[in-house]
Structure 1
Amino acid sequence: MVIILFRILFFLLFITLIDWYSYQAFKTLFPSQIWIKLVFWTFSIIVYLFVAFGFLTFSRGEISPNFGRMVSLLVLSMIPKLIILGFLFGEDILRFLVGIFQSLAGTREGDFLPERRKFVSQTALALAAIPFLGIFHGVLIGKYRYRVVKHILEFDDLPKEFDGFTITQISDIHSGSFDDKKKVEYGVELINQQASDIILFTGDLVNNQSREMEPWIDTFKKLKAPMGKYSILGNHDYGDYMAWPNQAAKAANLNRLLEIQEELGFKLLRNENVQLQKPALSGVEGEEASIDLIGVENWGKGFAQYGDLAKAAANLSGHSFKILLSHDPSHFDEEVKSFSQFIHLTLSGHTHGMQFGIEIPGLIKWSPVSLRYPKWAGLYEELGRYLHVNRGFGFLAFPGRVGIWPEITVLELKKK
């Protein structure tokens, strides 16, 4: 209890410090504008009251738009204030050092601390406005700003019948977070417009409960691919992150999710494999070329490890061309790249690119999630094996995307 009270006290002191410094910036720039100060404090108080209400009423297993709004307001309020805190706190350290130096030198006149400089407050507020506007855009527009990312991958041992074979990968739908049916339908239509040979979904259909997907079944049933649709489970699909009344209820939730996968037309791979076949170019009747598609249950470093790669790849030829669906990209470094059988291409998701970051092709690619996952978005190659990490179709917790847009991936396989 003492530790909890200490943490609460520390949090309140930290919040007070952030707001006090942020207020100093407004006070310095607008010393006589009372209404600006009133707007600042009114906005801050409303945010904290809403966040307190959200935490008191929050239940992880429930589908509540209030939680998303709470997170939005908190992020929208705190990140700009943290930038202001950094500038003004740094200025105060400098003011303190200058005051000491002038006092020791005998040149100090007036107050010990020099006055706060208007330029510093202007700079702090200007820079704080950038993430504020970015977050605002991310919540209103960015979360449905679907983009199509295309890659061409060349392989020496790709069967010639699959030269030009196209894959559309989607991941992390998180249907319980959706709040705009038309935007989601547009995303589904954009997937179909790619006209790929196959659609592969790499997990996290829901946030916690299978019922989250019920309103979206008809929408995602519209996905079409001539060689089928295949999927795996992600860490959120098992219902591990909420308290169930009993194990039977949790099992029933998962069973319903499996039924929904079937209703959507997906072939769910649970530590198993299938062969994708095409008629052989030789023209001999009955001869077919194939590639192996392997799907494992969730396996993540620091997360549940239901996946069994050895079981999933059992009885496969060591010389066949293999594609693996594995939700968590940490599986690639931990097991896949050193697996006894050569896996040419692994498709993952899970990270969402943290829904926040900066990506300028050829210049910068960064997200806070890179501190946890070295392979967090895009295409990677190691030891002749490829990994692609999809940035996710949906969103989770924070109902927005800033700089990391929802992704539909198209991979074209070519024979060298």
Structure 2
Amino acid sequence: MTRRDFLSLAAKAIAGTSLGFALGPFLAAAHCVVTRTSVTLRGLPREFDGFRIALLTDLHHSEWIPRSYLRQIVDRTNLQDVDLIALTGDLIHCGRPWIPGCVSELSRLQARRGVVSVLGNHDHADYAAAPLRHALRSAGIYDLTNDGIDLRRRGAEFRIGGVGDLWRDRQRPRKALSGAMSAESALLLSHNPDYAETLRDERVGLMLSGHTHGGQVIIPGIGAPHLPSRYGQKYREGLCQGPIVRVYVSRGSGSSFPPVRIACPPEIAIITLRSLPESRT
């Protein structure tokens, strides 16, 4: 099924009446769930064992994902009491006018070690990437596009880096991972999970991504009729294995157009990093 066929089918499902279309944002967004996953990294220092990350992605702030919904997502995320919040792009949907409201809400996010971000393909539309990055930085959110930071805890360090969007930007992992020394000793943010297919750096223990939305519409026995990935259902959602690097792919916290989700609720993903048992002693 082509993207055009999928969009046509989904649009017909909600646009048969004006009431059906009005329910679209509700169907897309109102049932956001909090999911929890633990991932063991061989190179994670024991000082970071139990480090908790909230992954937010694909908010798609727009006429169908209003600011009031973003406010609810931020409030629910703040209740999770995490160490770090990672934003992996598509924060707005194709337009600079959506930047102020989106960033105003994201500026309220609270985590012990702050908030980090990279952009997605939709963030680049309408020449929005530069002003969006500026607004995020002004709000105290770290821009990790082809860059990274070292987190320190009781003398130990853990590298968190990010790369530009696979479709609309460049990817420079060498700079993003600078300072990481051993296997699975770093975390990498990439909006598009397909980047894992070309990433061969064993220092990355986990990549955090979005982009696929989990397919938005799931048909039993078939899966997602449409996924924006070159690799079929491989990177649809959850913990996935690339050629070298594992990837956690969030279904996203919002929705693209048409704003319908069937058997694929949006999520706030809480990921707990664990060190190897022997390194905890």
Compute the TM-score of the two structures, normalised by the length of structure 1.
0.58
- Distance (Å, rounded) in 2 between the aligned partners of 1:415 and 1:273: 21
Match of 1:259 among 111, 115, 134: 134
Match of 2:160 among 268, 290, 293: 293
Corresponding residue for residue 256 of structure 2: 396
Q: Unaligned stretches of 5+ in structure 1?
A: 1-67, 79-133, 243-249, 280-287
Total equivalences in the alignment: 265
Q: Whose RCO is larger (CA < 8 A, sep 6+)? A: 2
Corresponding residue for residue 56 of structure 2: 170
Q: Which range moved further: 184-193 or 166-175? A: 184-193
Corresponding residue for residue 98 of structure 1: none
**Structure in which a larger fraction of residues adopt helix:** 1
The answer (yes or no) to whether the contact 1:138–1:402 under 8 Å persists in 2 is no
What RMSD over aligned residues (CA atoms) do the two structures have, in Å? 2.9
1:407, distance to aligned residue in structure 2 (A):
1.0
The answer (yes or no) to whether the contact 1:391–1:405 under 8 Å persists in 2 is yes
List per-residue Cα deviations over 1:106-155 (Å, max 9, x = no partner): xxxxxxxxxxxxxxxxxxxxxxxxxxxx9996553342211011101123
Corresponding residue for residue 124 of structure 2: 238
Residue 366 of structure 1 aligns with an amino acid whose one-letter code is G
Corresponding residue for residue 31 of structure 2: 145
1:167, distance to aligned residue in structure 2 (A):
0.6
Are 2:265 and 1:405 equivalent residues in the alignment? yes
List per-residue Cα deviations over 1:306-363 (Å, max 9, x = no partner): 2222342345424571100011011001x22x23x4310000111112321157xxxx
Residue 171 of structure 2 aligns with an amino acid whose one-letter code is G
Corresponding residue for residue 168 of structure 2: 304
Residue 141 of structure 1 aligns with an amino acid whose one-letter code is L
Corresponding residue for residue 3 of structure 2: none
Q: Rate the CA distance shift 1:314–1:179 in 2: closer, same or farther, 3 A.
A: closer
Are 2:14 and 1:76 equivalent residues in the alignment? yes
Q: Rate the CA distance shift 1:74–1:313 in 2: closer, same or farther, 3 A.
A: same
Matches within 5 A, 1:48-59: none
The answer (yes or no) to whether the contact 1:135–1:401 under 8 Å persists in 2 is no
The answer (yes or no) to whether the contact 2:47–2:153 under 8 Å persists in 1 is yes
Greater Rg by CA: 1
- Distance (Å, rounded) in 2 between the aligned partners of 1:168 and 1:178: 24
Q: Rate the CA distance shift 1:396–1:71 in 2: closer, same or farther, 3 A.
A: farther
- Distance (Å, rounded) in 1 between the aligned partners of 2:23 and 2:124: 32
1:184, distance to aligned residue in structure 2 (A):
2.9
- Distance (Å, rounded) in 2 between the aligned partners of 1:159 and 1:399: 41
Tell me the secondary structure at the aligned position of residue 62 of structure 2.
helix
- Distance (Å, rounded) in 1 between the aligned partners of 2:15 and 2:59: 27
The answer (yes or no) to whether the contact 1:188–1:219 under 8 Å persists in 2 is yes
Corresponding residue for residue 357 of structure 1: 218
Are 2:194 and 1:330 equivalent residues in the alignment? yes
**Structure in which a larger fraction of residues adopt strand:** 2
Compute the TM-score of the two structures, normalised by the length of structure 2.
0.83
- Distance (Å, rounded) in 2 between the aligned partners of 1:71 and 1:399: 12
Match of 1:343 among 192, 204, 211: 204
Residue 254 of structure 2 aligns with an amino acid whose one-letter code is G
Residue 307 of structure 1 aligns with an amino acid whose one-letter code is Q
Q: Rate the CA distance shift 1:296–1:206 in 2: closer, same or farther, 3 A.
A: same
Tell me the secondary structure at the aligned position of residue 344 of structure 1.
strand
Matches within 5 A, 1:7-156: 74-76=12-14, 139-156=25-42
Residue 144 of structure 2 aligns with an amino acid whose one-letter code is L
% identity of equivalent residues:
27
- Distance (Å, rounded) in 1 between the aligned partners of 2:122 and 2:259: 17
Are 2:271 and 1:414 equivalent residues in the alignment? no
Are 2:192 and 1:317 equivalent residues in the alignment? no
Matches within 5 A, 1:173-212: 173-212=59-98
List per-residue Cα deviations over 1:265-303 (Å, max 9, x = no partner): 210012111101101xxxxxxxx101110110111xxx3
Tell me the secondary structure at the aligned position of residue 166 of structure 1.
strand
Q: Rate the CA distance shift 1:357–1:136 in 2: closer, same or farther, 3 A.
A: farther
1:177, distance to aligned residue in structure 2 (A):
3.9
1:173, distance to aligned residue in structure 2 (A):
1.4
- Distance (Å, rounded) in 1 between the aligned partners of 2:119 and 2:32: 22
Q: Rate the CA distance shift 1:220–1:314 in 2: closer, same or farther, 3 A.
A: closer
The answer (yes or no) to whether the contact 1:358–1:404 under 8 Å persists in 2 is no
- Distance (Å, rounded) in 2 between the aligned partners of 1:217 and 1:269: 16
Q: Unaligned stretches of 5+ in structure 2?
A: 1-6, 277-281
Residue 367 of structure 1 aligns with an amino acid whose one-letter code is A
1:237, distance to aligned residue in structure 2 (A):
1.4
The answer (yes or no) to whether the contact 1:295–1:325 under 8 Å persists in 2 is yes
The answer (yes or no) to whether the contact 2:121–2:165 under 8 Å persists in 1 is yes
